[in-house]
Structure 1
Amino acid sequence: MLTPTTTAARMDRLPITRAHKIALATLAFVFLFEFGDLNTFAYVAPALIKHLAFSVQDVAVVTSAAFLGMAVGAVFGGRISDLIGRKRALLYSTLTFSIFSLVNATGFNVPTFIIFRFLTGVGLSAMVVAATTYISEVMPAARRGRMQSAVMAVGLAGIPVMSFSAKGIVPLGTDTWRLVFVLGSAALLAVPALVTLPESPRWLVHKNRLEAAEGVIARLERRAGPLTPIDETPSTAAPAPARQGYRDLFRGRTGRTTLFLAVVWIFQTLGFYGFVAWVPTLLAKHGFSVAESLGFAALTTIGAVPGALLAWPVTDRFGRKVPLVVVSLATAVSGLAYGLTFNPLAIVVFGFCVHLLIQTFATLLYAYSPELFPTGLRNAGNGLVYGTGRLANIFGPLIVAAIFAGLGYQAVFGYIAACWLVVAVAIALFGPRTGKQSLEALSTKTAETRRAPKPAAYAKSSPA
């Protein structure tokens, strides 16, 4: 009889099978274009300023609209994923952001870009929340962080790919910037592979679809070869799950987890996109040509991929908390140093460091955030805190534009450093330690377990 505890024990004893590798490769491909599309407007913005007479304030408004879409996509997409499943949520969200990325190529003024970037943002965040939750639920506990790092490392290659593509494409003509958005829609090629992915057994058990869950786990076990016996002692067995509603995200220990992660996501997002989304435009406004600003930005983005790989050796060995604190402090220092220099070589070096560190942080946080919520609310909780960060960043571009207009170029990077300091302090004071623990064990520490149903409820099965 499958229960949440036996499901966790059977999933966490598995090696990385061929099915795991296919899922990881598929998600990595989708992330490649998700990260690429996330930054397309930043690379196209200097051309829009030049050819369509956009102002810095126009760029800020459109960027804010995209983040409003991301907030909507994360919050509602996360909740929908808890209702319809991780697999279908991944499929629908990938279709959404890819199709609307293609539609972005038809934009011709500020209102059209506001609409198109909003709708693209809905799909982007819904996909990220569903994918990170899927990885946390399907990958074995001892390798969960490293598998997230592997997916991110491949996906983050989309940033320099998109950056160098924009550097080569945008200067070719007045309308060639449209091709950058076309490139961002290539995640549509992953749709056939997404259709074949197995559903998360943890989600299936939570929905009492025990036959379907048993089928998925059995297929994974057949491909894994000989396995160690399940160790389910009273000290490690998780209690039966509570009947959880969305309001439980705001109550008791789960509520404190939600609040803590919301603060981290808000200031991480402000610090992250304050740098990534604005560097090309700020450099152009500071006196560098469009080609030079895009060139500097392209070179610094090379740090993104090694940044994700930097998380690989530490995420499962040391857990997430300590590395997150160290990396956020280092990001604050590097970002401030970037803003204090005008030497081209120093701009590239410190920009490389910032890109490396913020992607190390993002990789760790993508693993950390979903594992702190119980299965029934994992995607909803992860989506809520992720979406809260995106919602706060509606004001982020406006804050950057106001600081730049009132206090100048260097003050923007002081603001970015301050955001990362807040993140470091929040995690140091309130973040629980994780790593090499089952999701169910973590849930008993960070979530409420009230109103648990009788064990007999898990003996029932429903059609797949």
Structure 2
Amino acid sequence: MVENLDKVKDIIARTNRIPVWSLPTAFLGIIGLGYFFTFYDISDIGLAMPAIDQQFNLHGSIILFIALSVGLIGYAIGSYLIGSLADVFGRYRSMILTMALTAIGSLGDALSFNVPELTIFRFITGIGLGADLNLVSIYITEFAPAAVRGKITVLTFLIGIFGQAVTPFIGYFLVPAFPTGWRWLFGIGAIIAFIAVFLRTELPESPRWLATKGHNLEKAEKVLEMMEATAKKKIGELPEPHPENVVVEEPKFPTLYLFKKPYTGRMVLLIAVWFLWYIGNYAFLGDAASLLESIGFSEAAAILYIAIGAIIGYPAGALIMLYTSDKYERKHVIFAATVVWFLGMISMATRMTDLLYFGSFLGAMGLGMYLQVAYTFTAENYPTRARSSGFGITDGIGHGGGALGAILLPILVATYSWAFGFTFIGITGLVAGLLILIGGTKVSRRNLEDISE
């Protein structure tokens, strides 16, 4: 039984009535810095791989691809385990833990001198990254107003997406030029992560989570009063809350919520979506530079192909979603993103010089359009008591597709052809979009509790 049920409903209703972003604007930058590191790290391993391959005398060995994939395994484990802790102990503490793990892991990546060491630290980095991407998405979703939830989440993502956009250029100037360039690439990521740990201590706990736990309502009130005061400075008086419309579920172990209607069906659908999407996502980000080098491009030229597409494509995709993710139903714009991705991979499949640039651009734009809006969509589909656990299971198992894709794409290219490999990862992304379009829930401009019903 929920204790202080009327008070819990009142706090959630007061949170739902706030129509604007009600935390300090600087907090968007702090949250975005975590995203910056996440996407920086997703890109840096693929850019470092050619140099690691040479220095560790692996010569394209599958062991190197395993070193990449083991990070994704850690990602899956961390996303669920720390995500579950966040549903029990709170978003704030867990977000400090996750960024500390990523900082330690990235520093270890930079100091690794063999594949076993690199594999261990990629696993640690993966645990932190998986959980952090989960928690940042959950945190923003629980603070952002329903009418502009998509816009707010994309704003923070836009800060982070520059991590994926600028990383290829940092790699371009470091990796080919210096024997230790790949180490500096990881080291820069570690510095960013340690800064993010310090800045995150300023963030408040989610009042929505505090209220559903029921035992820390005074703290929830204090955070909420700060949010209401900030909102009133922006727009004046706030709308009346409607606690009578709030439904609060009975407390139990977070994961158990996911095995009841409608969450079980949503979870199965979203696991399939993310598994298919990540096959191509991580294959492209992790393998494209090495595969370009294997067909005759220099190390610098291979990285440059990815970098030019990224610096334009990622921000362009995010900016498109900034103006469309709330205006249109989210599952429709997610599908549109997968169409852009598919066209990008088909262009890459031609191996024609100009179309490789165009394909890299479209692939990056599709990623910039898809990722944060799909993360938000995933978070919206679960109840507050199990939102982080649900996201963790969905995204964690989904990353099995990323681990598979990172190993599979080089095999498909070697066994069949370049065109077959890149067409395949284009199709897996498009099918992910079709699944959301056909089976996804309508979420745009709806309160989280309404979507949960």
How does the TM-score come out when normalised to structure 2?
0.94
Aligned to 2:251: 243
Matches within 5 A, 1:226-305: 226-232=236-242, 237-245=245-253, 246-302=255-311, 303-305=313-315
1:350 equivalent in alignment to 2:362: no
Letter in 2 for 1:219: M
SS at match of 1:436: coil
8 Å CA contact retained: 1:328, 1:424: yes
Quote the Cα distance in structure 1 between the aligned partners of 2:447 and 2:307.
Answer: 39
Aligned to 2:211: 205
Q: Relative to structure 2, which stretch is displaced further, 378-387 or 164-173? A: 164-173
Aligned-CA RMSD value: 1.6
SS at match of 2:251: coil
Aligned to 1:439: 448
SS at match of 1:395: helix
- Write the deviation string for residues 220-276 of structure 1: whole angstroms up to 9, x where unpaired: 112222323324286xx1323233432331333211111011111111111211212
8 Å CA contact retained: 1:4, 1:440: no
Quote the Cα distance in structure 1 between the aligned partners of 2:56 and 2:425.
Answer: 29
Aligned to 1:456: none
Aligned to 1:327: 337
Letter in 1 for 2:208: R
Quote the Cα distance in structure 2 between the aligned partners of 1:354 and 1:162.
Answer: 16
Quote the Cα distance in structure 2 between the aligned partners of 1:150 and 1:264.
Answer: 24
Aligned pair in 2 of structure 1 residues 30, 240: CA closer, same or farther (>3 Å)?
Answer: closer
Aligned to 2:109: 104
Aligned to 1:193: 199
8 Å CA contact retained: 1:102, 1:181: yes
1:53 equivalent in alignment to 2:34: no
Q: Relative to structure 2, which stretch is displaced further, 63-72 or 300-309? A: 300-309
8 Å CA contact retained: 1:78, 1:380: yes
1:27 equivalent in alignment to 2:27: no
8 Å CA contact retained: 2:280, 2:402: no
- Write the deviation string for residues 88-139 of structure 1: whole angstroms up to 9, x where unpaired: 1111101110121011111122111111111100001111101100000011
Quote the Cα distance in structure 1 between the aligned partners of 2:252 and 2:368.
Answer: 33
Quote the Cα distance in structure 1 between the aligned partners of 2:441 and 2:231.
Answer: 32
1:180 equivalent in alignment to 2:190: no
Aligned to 1:214: 221
Letter in 2 for 1:285: S
Residue from 294, 317, 323 that aligns with 2:327: 317
Q: State the percentage of identical aligned residues.
A: 27
1:65 equivalent in alignment to 2:70: yes
8 Å CA contact retained: 2:341, 2:426: yes
8 Å CA contact retained: 2:350, 2:356: no
1:182 Cα deviation from its structure 2 partner: 0.4
8 Å CA contact retained: 2:347, 2:358: no
Quote the Cα distance in structure 2 between the aligned partners of 1:398 and 1:100.
Answer: 22
Quote the Cα distance in structure 1 between the aligned partners of 2:116 and 2:196.
Answer: 30
Quote the Cα distance in structure 2 between the aligned partners of 1:202 and 1:375.
Answer: 7
Matches within 5 A, 1:387-406: 387-406=396-415
Letter in 2 for 1:210: L
Q: Relative to structure 2, which stretch is displaced further, 220-229 or 305-314? A: 220-229
Quote the Cα distance in structure 2 between the aligned partners of 1:251 and 1:53.
Answer: 51
Quote the Cα distance in structure 1 between the aligned partners of 2:11 and 2:348.
Answer: 48
Q: 5+ residue gaps in structure 2?
A: none
8 Å CA contact retained: 1:8, 1:438: no
Q: Relative to structure 2, which stretch is displaced further, 253-262 or 172-181? A: 172-181
1:160 Cα deviation from its structure 2 partner: 2.4
Letter in 2 for 1:34: T
Aligned to 1:78: 83
- Write the deviation string for residues 391-441 of structure 1: whole angstroms up to 9, x where unpaired: 332222221122122112221111101201221221122101111111011
Letter in 1 for 2:43: N
Letter in 2 for 1:28: G
Corresponding pairs, count: 441
Letter in 2 for 1:45: M
Aligned pair in 2 of structure 1 residues 286, 200: CA closer, same or farther (>3 Å)?
Answer: same
Letter in 1 for 2:380: E
